[in-house]
Amino acid sequence: MPTFVVGDVHGHPETLARLLRDAGLIDDRLRWSGRDARLWLLGDLVDRGPDGIGTIELVMRLEREGPVRCLLGNHEAVILSAWRFRDLRTRGLDALFRSYWLNGGQTSDLARFQPEHAAWIEGLPAVARDGDWLLLHSDTDLYLRFGRSIDEINRTISSVLTGGDAASVEVMLDSLAHRNALGDRRRVDRLLDALGGVRIVHGHTPIPFVTGVEPERVVEPLEYGGGRVLNVDHCLFAGGPGFVTELPGASRVEPDAKSSDAAP
C-alpha cells in the first residue's frame, strides 16, 4: 500500500488539487481515486494563502472518501485559538489573538471559520506513525514536552486546544512553531527512541529557507540527518510549484507499545 505525503499547503486548494490529480490520487471531479494508496497532509493548510477554509474543506471531504489523514500544524492551532478566544480581551488572550495576524492569518478565513472546522482541527493528531516513518508537522523534538508516546502527546495537545488556559495554549503554540532542531542527531535519536520509527518526515520549515534555493526551483524533498530526516515543505505560499512524495518503506503495521496510532 503506497503512502504519500504533502507538506504545507497554506491556503492554496487549487494547487493541492492539481498536485493530487497529477499523482493520480484524485480525479477531475476532485474525488478520491487513489485506490489502495493512502495520503497524509502534514499540516498548515491555512494562512498566508487566499483560501485556507477551502483547503480544510477539501481535505475534510477527502478523508470521508479514502484513506486520507492530516496532522495538526501550528497554523491550525493558531486559527483555532484565534477563533476560540475571539470575544475575550484579557492581556494574555489578546496576545494569542494577535499571533494569528502575525503568522499570516487571513481575515476571510477567520470570518468563514465554523464550529465544524474547529471540531475537525481538535481531532487532528499532532504526531503519527506509518510503518518506518514518524510523521511530524514541525522539525522539532519539543513534541516530547507533551508526552512520551504518540497517544499521550496527541491526547495532551488536544486537551490544551480544547480547554487550555491562555498560558498553556501559548506554550503549546510556541512548541509547535519551533524549527530547525532535527539537524542534531541527538534530537533525532531522542524522538525515534521515544516514539518509534526509523525515519522522520516533516513540513513546517520551507526548503528554500534551508537551502537558499528559489522557491520556484524546489521540486523534491530535502533529505538530511544522514538520510533519517525528510523535509517536504515545498514553500507553496512563496511560489513553489509543489510536489507529492511517496514514502519508501511505509507499510501498515500493528500498533505497539510506543504507538497506537495506526495508519489511516
Task: Confirm whether pTM is higher than 0.75.
Answer: yes
Q: What is the pLDDT of residues 9-24, one digit of tens each?
A: 999 999 999 999 999 9
> 116 φ, ψ to 5°?
-65, -30
Grid coordinates of 59: 481535505
Q: What is the pLDDT of residues 219-243, one digit of tens each?
A: 999 999 999 999 999 999 999 999 9
Q: Which pLDDT band holds residue 256 (cuts at 50, 70, 90)?
A: very low
Res 105: pLDDT: 86
Given a cut of 60, whether residue 262 has pLDDT beyond it is no
Q: Which residue has the higher pLDDT, 35 or 57?
A: 57
Q: Which pLDDT band holds residue 251 (cuts at 50, 70, 90)?
A: low
Contact between 263 and 38 (Cβ < 8 Å)? yes
Q: What is the pLDDT of residues 114-125, one digit of tens each?
A: 999 999 999 999
Res 259: pLDDT: 39
Instruction: Check if CATH label 1.10.3470.10 holds for domain 3-246.
Output: no
Res 255: pLDDT: 33
